[in-house]
Chains A and B, each alone.
Chain A
Amino acid sequence: MSDERQPLLKVTDLEVTFGKGAHAVSAVAGVSFDVYEGETLGLVGESGCGKSTTGKALMKIVTPSSGTVELDGIDVTHQRGRALRRARTRMQMIFQDPISSLNPRRRVRDIVAEPLDAWKSVKGAERHQLVTDLLNQVGIDPEVYGDRYARQFSGGQCQRISIARALAMRPKLLICDEVVSALDVSVQAQILNLLEDLKDDYGLTLLFIAHDLAVVKNISDRVAVMYLGRICEIGPSDVLYEAPAHPYTKFLLGAALEADPDSAVAGAALEGEPPSPLNPPSGCRFRTRCPYATERCAVEEPELTEVAPGHQVACHFPFVAQ
C-alpha cells in the first residue's frame, strides 16, 4: 500500500561523520528510509545509535557527509542560505529538554511568534491572532499565560510552547527528538495525545525519535530500529513488535519493561554493551553481541531486504515464519 504513495521525506544513504582520519566517528553510517505523507515513523535505538544525529542531519543542524535528503521531491541536502531557511519552515524539530529549548527571559507570545517575526510574514493584529490560536491549540491559555516568561513554566508546559512555536510556520514534517523522555508519565500521556490531535488538525507527518519502545509503538505507524549508525529493521509497528525479524529488535523488545506483574520476565538479557562507533565491527555491526552470529556475519555486511511487504530487515539469518 505504501509503495504507491509519494514519500514526503526521502532519505538516501545518509552518512554523518564527525572528526577526521583516525578519530573519525561515523555516527550515521548509510541510512535510507522514506516517510510518507500523513504517517508517523518511529525511530528507536539505544543511546549512541545515531537516531538523534539522523534527525539533526535532516534539518542540517549537523552537515551530512554524504547521501541525500529530499523533502517533497526537492533535494535539501545541498541547499544553503535563504533556500535552506525556506526549506526549514517546512520541517521543524522539537527537542528533548523543553526548558533549555526556550529562552527563559522572553515572553511566551514572543517565543511562539519568533518564526513569524523572522520571516516577517504577519504583523500586528494578525500576528496576535495567530499566536493566540497556536497557544489555544497546544492547551496553553493565551490570556493567562501569554505574557509570562518561559522560566515560569513546568517541563510539560514548556514542551507545549515548543510545539506551538514549531507549528507557527505550518510545517509539513515535524521531527520529534525524545520529546517526552524528560516528562512524568501523566504529563507524557498529555503530550502524546496532543501530538496525535495536532497531527490530524495540521495534516502533519511525524518522525518520532525515542528510546522508549512503548511510547514509540503507541504513536507510530511504522518503526525503524537503529543500531550503531545503521537501520537494522523497519516495518509496520504492530508487525515489528509482534514478530521482530532482527535478533537485536528481539532483544530490545525483550528488555522492555511492561507495567504488569504478569508480563513474562524477559528471557536472556542481551550481554555486553554496544561497541565504540570509532571502531565498528566488520560485517554486521551487531555480530559482537549476537548469539546467532556466524563467520559470514563478520565478513559480509547485511543489506536491508524485504521479508514481508513493507517489512525490511538487515540480517543474514532473520527470524522469518516459514
Chain B
Amino acid sequence: MSDRLLEVRDLRTTFRTVAGAVQAVGGVSFDLGANETLGIVGESGSGKTVLARTIMGLQPRTNVEVTGSVLLNGHEVVGASERAMRALWATEVAMVFQDPMTSLNPVMRIGKQIDETLRVRLGMDRHAARARAIELLTMVGIPSAESRYRAYPTEFSGGMRQRVVIAAALACSPKLLIADEPTTGLDVTIQAQILNLLDSLKQQLAMSVILITHDLGVVATRASRIIVMYAGRIVEMGDTRDVFYHHRMPYTRALLQSSPKVSNAPHTRLAVIPGRPPNLATAQVGCAFAPRCAYATEQCHTERPVLVEAAAPGHRFACWNPLPEVAEALR
C-alpha cells in the first residue's frame, strides 16, 4: 500500500541499566496511513513515550539497543545516523513534548526559535524566515504575532507556549506530527483549545498525527484508531469505536472502567485494577497483565499471548481469555 506513511515492525527498545536490561518497548508493530490520527494510550511506564522517541530516532546511541524496523515514508529510522535523521526531522516528522517550557530555550526570543528551523532546514533568508514565522504564529492562534515574535518563552502562559512549540514543529510542514501528552498539565479549557487546534491543523496541512496520552478522554473523540499499551507491548488496537465499545482485552476494560466519568452519578464506585504494573527489569513470562487480571488462568502465567484478529477489520487483541464478543456496545 502506497498510502502508508509509517510502518513499524517488531520494534524493541532495550535500556541497559545497572539493574539489568529493561525492555521498555517489546515488539511493537503497526501502520499509520496518511492524514490519520492514531491515539496511543497507556499508564505511566507502559512504554508509550519510549516508543515515540524511538520512532523519532531520539534514543541515545549508548546503553540503548533498538531492533526491528521503523519505515517513515520509505526511510529506515532504526540504525540511521544522526546526520540521516536530521534530514527527516522537521520535514518528515516532528514532535511536540509534554512540557512546553523545557522544549523552548528560555533565553532565546520565540521568533528566533522558529526562524532557526526555517533557515537551517529550508535555507530561507532572514526576512523570508521572519515572515513565515509570524505566519505560523498567527496560524496557531498567537494574538498579535508580529509583536509577540520578539517575546521570550517566560512571557507566555503554558497554553500559549504549547502553541509556540506546535508552530515550531510545523515550520517545515512535516508529514507526521507526534504529540506526546501535549495537553497534560494544561487546564481543561486550554486543553480543548489545543486539541481543536491540532485537529484543524491536521486537516489544513494534510498531515498524520500520533497522539500519545494517558487520558482516554483525549483520544476518544479525536483519534480514528487507538493502540492500548501495557508493559511495553500492544495489548489491543483497532478503530476507536471498536476499542471503546467492543474491546476484548480485560485491561482495556479495566482502564475504561476505572476512569471517573462526568456522566456518572456522584459516589459511583470505581472499578479498581488491583496491584501495579510489572517491573520491566525482571524477565516476564506469560501475559504481563496476568497478575492483575480477574480472568487469568494457568496459561496466562506461562505463555505470552500474541495479537489475534477480532471480528472487525484491523481490531486485534492479545489475550488468552478475552471478553466475549458482543454485538451490542460494552459501556
Residue of B nearest to A223 (CB): B266
Q: Is A243 an interface residue (CB 8 A)?
A: no
Residue of A nearest to B44 (CB): A184
Q: Are A217 and B260 in contact (CB under 8 A)?
A: yes
Residue of B nearest to A265 (CB): B221
Q: Are A186 and B272 in contact (CB under 8 A)?
A: yes
Q: Known contacts being A214-B260, A261-B241, is A219 close to B266, with CB within 8 Å? A: yes
Tell me the A179-216 residues at the B interface (CB within 8 Å).
Answer: 184-190, 192-193, 196, 211-215
Q: Are A189 and B160 in contact (CB under 8 A)?
A: no
Q: Is A53 an interface residue (CB 8 A)?
A: no
Q: Are B265 and A214 in contact (CB under 8 A)?
A: no
Q: Are A46 and B187 in contact (CB under 8 A)?
A: yes
Q: Are B276 and A154 in contact (CB under 8 A)?
A: yes
Q: Are A255 and B272 in contact (CB under 8 A)?
A: no
Residue of B nearest to A216 (CB): B260
Binding-face segment, A16-24, A266-274, A296-304: A266-274
Q: Is B2 an interface residue (CB 8 A)?
A: no
- Docked Cα-Cα span, A260 to B240, in Å, equals 9
Residue of B nearest to A46 (CB): B187
- Docked Cα-Cα span, A130 to B199, in Å, equals 54
Q: Is B294 an interface residue (CB 8 A)?
A: no
Tell me the B44-88 residues at the A interface (CB within 8 Å).
Answer: 44
B193 proximity list for chain A (CB < 8 A)? 269-271
Give the size of the chain A interface in residues (CB under 8 angstroms).
Answer: 46
- Docked Cα-Cα span, A190 to B258, in Å, equals 9
- Within the complex, the shortest CB–CB distance from A309 to chain B, in Å, comes to 17
Q: Are B244 and A211 in contact (CB under 8 A)?
A: no
- Docked Cα-Cα span, A184 to B270, in Å, equals 14
Q: Is A147 an interface residue (CB 8 A)?
A: no
B260 proximity list for chain A (CB < 8 A)? 188-189, 192, 212, 214-215, 217-218
B188 proximity list for chain A (CB < 8 A)? 46, 211, 213, 252, 255-257
Q: Are B271 and A270 in contact (CB under 8 A)?
A: no
Give the size of the chain B interface in residues (CB under 8 angstroms).
Answer: 45
Q: Known contacts being A252-B188, A259-B244, is A189 close to B258, with CB within 8 Å? A: yes
- Docked Cα-Cα span, A254 to B159, in Å, equals 18
- Docked Cα-Cα span, A189 to B214, in Å, equals 14
B254 proximity list for chain A (CB < 8 A)? 186
Q: Is B297 an interface residue (CB 8 A)?
A: no
Q: Is A34 an interface residue (CB 8 A)?
A: no
Q: Are A259 and B43 in contact (CB under 8 A)?
A: no
- Docked Cα-Cα span, A193 to B260, in Å, equals 11
Q: Are A218 and B187 in contact (CB under 8 A)?
A: no
- Docked Cα-Cα span, A213 to B268, in Å, equals 14
Q: Are A260 and B258 in contact (CB under 8 A)?
A: no
- Within the complex, the shortest CB–CB distance from A9 to chain B, in Å, comes to 20
Tell me the A149-183 residues at the B interface (CB within 8 Å).
Answer: 154, 156
Residue of B nearest to A271 (CB): B193
Q: Is B204 an interface residue (CB 8 A)?
A: no
Q: Are A241 and B258 in contact (CB under 8 A)?
A: no
Q: Are B187 and A258 in contact (CB under 8 A)?
A: no
- Within the complex, the shortest CB–CB distance from B251 to chain A, in Å, comes to 9
- Among A185, A192, A273, which residue has its beta carbon within 8 angstroms of that of B190? A273
Q: Known contacts being A189-B272, A218-B260, is A257 close to B217, with CB within 8 Å? A: yes
Q: Is B147 an interface residue (CB 8 A)?
A: no
Tell me the A229-271 residues at the B interface (CB within 8 Å).
Answer: 237-238, 241, 251-263, 265-266, 269-271
Q: Is A100 an interface residue (CB 8 A)?
A: no
Q: Is B284 an interface residue (CB 8 A)?
A: no
- Within the complex, the shortest CB–CB distance from B100 to chain A, in Å, comes to 14
Q: Are A259 and B220 in contact (CB under 8 A)?
A: yes
- Within the complex, the shortest CB–CB distance from A89 to chain B, in Å, comes to 28
A271 proximity list for chain B (CB < 8 A)? 193
Q: Is A72 an interface residue (CB 8 A)?
A: no
Q: Is B261 an interface residue (CB 8 A)?
A: yes
B192 proximity list for chain A (CB < 8 A)? 254-255, 257, 266, 269-270
Q: Are A214 and B262 in contact (CB under 8 A)?
A: yes
- Docked Cα-Cα span, A266 to B265, in Å, equals 20
- Docked Cα-Cα span, A219 to B262, in Å, equals 11
Q: Are B266 and A255 in contact (CB under 8 A)?
A: no
- Within the complex, the shortest CB–CB distance from A107 to chain B, in Å, comes to 21
Q: Are A257 and B187 in contact (CB under 8 A)?
A: no
Q: Are A257 and B272 in contact (CB under 8 A)?
A: no
Q: Are B272 and A193 in contact (CB under 8 A)?
A: yes
Q: Known contacts being A252-B189, A266-B192, A270-B189, is A186 close to B264, with CB within 8 Å? A: no
Q: Are B221 and A220 in contact (CB under 8 A)?
A: no
Tell me the B252-290 residues at the A interface (CB within 8 Å).
Answer: 254-256, 258-273, 276
Q: Are A220 and B272 in contact (CB under 8 A)?
A: no
- Within the complex, the shortest CB–CB distance from B6 to chain A, in Å, comes to 23
- Docked Cα-Cα span, A214 to B245, in Å, equals 20
Q: Are A218 and B215 in contact (CB under 8 A)?
A: no
Q: Are A186 and B43 in contact (CB under 8 A)?
A: yes
- Docked Cα-Cα span, A35 to B123, in Å, equals 63
- Among A187, A218, A221, which residue has its beta carbon within 8 angstroms of that of B268? A218
Residue of A nearest to B213 (CB): A257
B272 proximity list for chain A (CB < 8 A)? 186, 189-190, 193
Q: Is A282 an interface residue (CB 8 A)?
A: no
Further 5 A-B residue pairs, CB within 8 A, beyond A213-B188, A260-B331, A273-B190: A189-B260, A215-B260, A255-B191, A256-B217, A257-B218
A interface residues, Cβ below 8 angstroms from B: 46-47, 154, 156, 184-190, 192-193, 196, 211-215, 217-221, 237-238, 241, 251-263, 265-266, 269-271, 273
Provide 21 A-B residue pairs closer than 8 Å at the C-beta atoms, listed in order of the A residue: A186-B43, A189-B260, A189-B273, A193-B270, A193-B272, A214-B259, A214-B261, A217-B262, A217-B266, A218-B270, A220-B266, A238-B266, A252-B188, A252-B189, A255-B188, A256-B217, A258-B263, A259-B216, A261-B241, A270-B189, A270-B192
